[in-house]
Amino acid sequence: MRVELVTATADDTRAVGAAIAEVLRPGDAAALTGDLGAGKTTLVQGVARGLGSDAHVVSPTFTLVREYDARLRVHHVDVYRLDRVQEALDLALDEIAASGGVLLVEWGDAIEALLPADHLLVELTVADDDRRRIAVRGVGVSWRARWERLERVLEPWAVAA
C-alpha cells in the first residue's frame, strides 16, 4: 500500500495533511520522515487543521511532545534526541491509547519499530524549489481496510510511482 504525491506549495502540503486527517481514527500513529525543511511540520499543520484544531503548530524541538486539541487530540513528537525516543513514544503511545488521539512523529524512520504494528509512513523529499515528493505508505490491516479511501482523498496530488 503506497501512493506517491507531488505538492507545489506549502499550502498544498497542508491540504495533503488535511486529506489524511479525514481518514485518521483514534489511536492512529504516523511517522514523517525527511530532511530538515522537507515539510514534515507543514504536513502536521495540515493534519491538525483537518482535525479541526486552530492551534499554531510548530516543530516540537526542545519539548519532545506537543499536543493540540482537536476532533482527535494530536500528539506531535519530534525525535531530535535519539536517547529520548523511547521515553517520548512510550508517553505518547500510552496517551493516544487512553484518549483516542493520534500520534504524529517527525524523523520517524529510525523508530518505525517502536510504533504500533499498524501505522502510516509519510516520506517527504525536496524535488525542486517548492515542490515536494511525498510517499505515503500504509502498514497493517487497519490501513488495508481504508486504503482505497485514502487513495481517493489524495488523488488530487497523486503521480505515477
Q: Give residues in contact with ligand ADP (CB under 6 A).
A: 7-10, 12-13, 34, 36-42, 59, 106, 130-132
Question: Contacting Mg ion (CB under 5 A), which of 15, 23, 40, 79?
Answer: 40
Kindly calculate the radius of gyration of the chain based on its CA atoms and give it in whole angstroms: 14
**CB closer to ligand ADP, 27 vs 106:** 106
Helix, strand, coil shares, percent, the chain, to 5:
40, 30, 30
Q: How far is the CB of 17 from ligand ADP (least distance, A)?
A: 10
Which residue, 28 or 123, is less far from ligand ADP as judged by CB? 123
- Partner whose footprint covers residue 86, from Mg ion, ligand ADP, none (CB < 5 to 8 Å by kind): none
Question: Per CB under 5 A, which region of 39-47, 48-56, 126-134, 145-153 contacts Mg ion?
Answer: 39-47
Cell of 19: 486529506
Q: Is the distance from CB of 138 to CB of 147 less than 8 angstroms?
A: yes
Task: Determine if 132 is a binding residue for Mg ion (CB under 5 A).
Answer: no
CB closer to ligand ADP out of 129 and 148: 129
Q: State the minimum distance, in angstroms, from the CB of residue 141 to Mg ion.
A: 30
CB of 82 to Mg ion, least distance (A): 16
Distance in angstroms (rounded) separating the CA atoms of residues 26 and 24: 7
Characterize 30-51 residue by residue with b for buried, 16 or more Cβ atoms within 10 angstroms of its Cβ, and e for exposed. bbbbbeeebbbbbbbbbbbbbb
- The CA dihedral of 54, 56, 62, 65, to the nearest 10 degrees, is 10
Mark the segment that binds Mg ion (CB under 5 A) among 3-11, 20-28, 104-112, 128-136. Answer: 104-112
**Among 79, 53, 77, which residue's Cα sits nearest to residue 65?**
77
Residues that bind Mg ion (CB under 5 A): 40-41, 59, 106
